[in-house]
């Protein structure tokens, strides 16, 4: 029987909720594993889950320097979508979206995946053309997309400023109805528990400080809790990628670390039942189940490892939210924070075997890696288990930068802070 069910809730209620099993054991590191995953974020935990579930590899440890949920997996604005233009991207993100659709059942954990629709607004005829192009590319690949005109936008998001006086009047938008939001903490905890129940050791407060080499291969990791041997080591540390890979002797990667801020308002009555993105500036907004408006915008825009941002971005984001929804003008901001994002040189991810024998790399998620969590874990597990990429992540190799086969969705060039 499922561990979490109406029956188990009732049984545990009768015994005063004193006998729930912890969602994962506080595992101590063993001497050796088949696979060690560095980084207990969403991607590392999902990789461990799919290694066990899809490939029968259960002698696995996830090594996390802090606590589960302390990284970007618990810091993001929770938007899940697959509305990409480039085929390599939309096939991958669509597979991830399909995994999201069955995730709560797969993990026996309510990840609160809510397909409330993501609407990208357009404010100029050229933007409408670009939305039509992207929507058509998606539809040709079997992904849902709808181009909305001004009246349809007004009906879909009644609270938007649709007046003629708006600074950037809305012409229409591109809607993906199957896209939406999920509860980020639940995703981390759900994957952690599922991996734990497969036998995976989740080792918190354990920082990887170096790599063990043997006969020219990576053969394990050195950590603050001792050496851990492994046949294969997968690295999924988001914004810390360059620093962790440097410990393995990889001194340069097509990655820069930047900070992205997120914002939550005081809780309100239901006011916004979809995810809306502005087209005349960078802003995305939704409302959480607790009632807070959840929104974010651009990167602060310079290399940083500090998980905090600057005030000008706060002001910018608040003014864009006001331009879209003047009625939110008197809402108070409750919290804001920053997360360390792994910006790649072309804005697309890296899921690959290498760059050293015995080592596997998962990175380059920019500020869009939450939606990728199940798909990334699924593809990374495949790549680690079989020593070759799945069709879905073949294009996400490191050598694409040498071959001129970059995947630059935004056409922004090798300036990571512009992706």
Ligand X SMILES: Cc1cc2nc3c(=O)[nH]c(=O)nc-3n(C[C@H](O)[C@H](O)[C@H](O)COP(=O)(O)OP(=O)(O)OC[C@H]3O[C@@H](n4cnc5c(N)ncnc54)[C@H](O)[C@@H]3O)c2cc1C
| Half-sphere exposure in the Cβ direction for 145 (13 Å, CA) | 24
Query: CB under 5 to 8 A by kind: which of ligand X, another protein, none does 252 bind?
Result: another protein
267 neighbors 333 (Cβ within 8 angstroms): no
Does position 76 interact with ligand X (CB under 6 A)? The reply is yes
3-state secondary structure of 153: helix
Quick one: which of 83, 240, 242, 393 contacts ligand X (CB under 6 A)?
A: 240
- Of the candidates 180, 190, 257, 232, the one whose C-alpha atom is nearest the C-alpha of residue 383 is 232
Q: Which is nearer to ligand X, 238 or 395 (CB)?
A: 238
The piece of 3-11, 37-45, 246-254, 364-372 that touches another protein (CB under 8 A) is: 246-254
Quick one: which of 306, 334, 405, 410 contacts another protein (CB under 8 A)?
A: 306
Does position 267 interact with ligand X (CB under 6 A)? The reply is no
Please name the residue ranges forming H helices in 325-406: 373-386, 400-403
Query: CB under 5 to 8 A by kind: which of ligand X, another protein, none does 401 bind?
Result: another protein
Q: Which two tokens stand for residue 196?
A: 């734990």
Residues 252-271 binding another protein (CB under 8 A) are: 252-257
Judged by CB under 6 A, the number of residues near ligand X is: 39
The piece of 20-28, 193-201, 226-234, 245-253 that touches another protein (CB under 8 A) is: 245-253
Return the CA Rg of the chain: 22
Does position 303 interact with another protein (CB under 8 A)? The reply is yes
Residues 129-188 binding ligand X (CB under 6 A) are: none
Quick one: which of 78, 114, 127, 242 contacts another protein (CB under 8 A)?
A: 242
CA torsion 120→125→131→137, rounded to 10°?
A: 170
Does position 209 interact with another protein (CB under 8 A)? The reply is no
Q: How far apart are CA 265 and CA 243, in angstroms?
A: 34
Query: CB under 5 to 8 A by kind: which of another protein, ligand X, none does 107 bind?
Result: none
Q: Which is nearer to ligand X, 46 or 395 (CB)?
A: 46
- Of the candidates 121, 126, 200, the one whose C-alpha atom is nearest the C-alpha of residue 167 is 121
Q: Which is nearer to another protein, 143 or 208 (CB)?
A: 208
| DSSP β-bridge partners for residue 33 | 230
- Of the candidates 331, 41, 287, 329, the one whose C-alpha atom is nearest the C-alpha of residue 185 is 41
Quick one: which of 29, 35, 36, 39 contacts ligand X (CB under 6 A)?
A: 39
Does position 312 interact with another protein (CB under 8 A)? The reply is yes
Quick one: which of 70, 354, 355, 414 contacts ligand X (CB under 6 A)?
A: 70
Q: Which two tokens stand for residue 231?
A: 């046949």
Does position 66 interact with another protein (CB under 8 A)? The reply is no
Query: CB under 5 to 8 A by kind: which of another protein, ligand X, none does 279 bind?
Result: none
Can you give the length of the chain in residues?
Answer: 419
403 neighbors 396 (Cβ within 8 angstroms): no
Residue with tokens 């009246």: 151
Diameter of the chain by CA atoms?
Answer: 69
Count CB neighbours of 132 within 10 A. Answer: 15
Binding site for ligand X (CB under 6 A): 38-44, 63-66, 70-73, 75-79, 207-208, 236-238, 240, 244, 260-262, 296, 339, 341, 365, 367-371
């Amino acid at each position: 029987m499922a561990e979490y069910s109406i029956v188990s809730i009732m049984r545990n209620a009768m015994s005063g909720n004193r006998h729930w099993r912890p969602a994962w054991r506080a595992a101590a590191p063993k001497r050796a594993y088949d696979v060690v995953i560095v980084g207990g974020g969403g991607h590392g935990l999902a990789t461990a889950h799919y290694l066990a579930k899809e490939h029968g590899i259960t002698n696995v440890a996830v090594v996390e320097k802090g606590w589960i949920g302390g990284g970007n997996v618990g810091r993001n604005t929770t938007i899940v979508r697959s509305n990409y233009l480039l085929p390599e991207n939309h096939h991958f993100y669509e597979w991830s979206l399909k995994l999201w659709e069955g995730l709560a059942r797969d993990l026996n954990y309510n990840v609160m995946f809510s397909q409330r629709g993501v609407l990208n607004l357009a404010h100029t005829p050229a933007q409408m053309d670009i939305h039509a192009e992207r929507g058509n590319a998606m539809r040709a690949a079997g992904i849902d997309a709808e181009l909305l005109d001004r009246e349809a936008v007004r009906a879909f998001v009644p609270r938007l400023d649709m007046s003629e006086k708006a600074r950037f009047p809305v012409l229409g938008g591109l809607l993906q109805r199957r896209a939406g939001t999920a509860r980020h903490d639940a995703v981390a905890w759900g994957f952690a528990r599922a991996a734990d129940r497969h036998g995976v050791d989740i080792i918190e407060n354990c920082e990887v400080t170096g790599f063990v080499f043997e006969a020219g291969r990576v053969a394990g990791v050195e950590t603050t809790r001792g050496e851990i041997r492994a046949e294969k080591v997968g690295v999924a540390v988001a914004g810390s990628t360059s620093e962790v890979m440097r410990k393995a002797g990889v001194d340069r990667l097509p990655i820069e670390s930047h900070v992205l801020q997120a914002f939550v308002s005081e809780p309100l009555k239901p006011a916004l039942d979809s995810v809306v993105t502005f087209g005349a500036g960078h802003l995305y907004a939704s409302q959480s189940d607790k009632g807070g408006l959840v929104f974010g915008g651009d990167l602060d825009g310079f290399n940083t490892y500090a998980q905090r941002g600057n005030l000008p971005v706060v002001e910018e984001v608040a003014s864009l939210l006001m331009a879209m929804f003047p009625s939110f003008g008197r809402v108070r901001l409750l919290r804001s924070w920053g997360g360390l994002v792994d910006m790649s040189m072309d804005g697309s991810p890296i899921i690959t075997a290498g760059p050293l024998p015995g080592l596997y790399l998962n990175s380059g998620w920019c500020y869009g890696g939450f939606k990728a969590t199940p798909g990334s874990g699924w593809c990374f597990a495949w790549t680690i288990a079989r020593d070759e990429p799945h069709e879905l992540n073949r294009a996400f190799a490191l050598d694409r930068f040498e071959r001129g086969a970059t995947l630059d969705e935004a056409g922004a060039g090798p300036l990571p802070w512009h992706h």
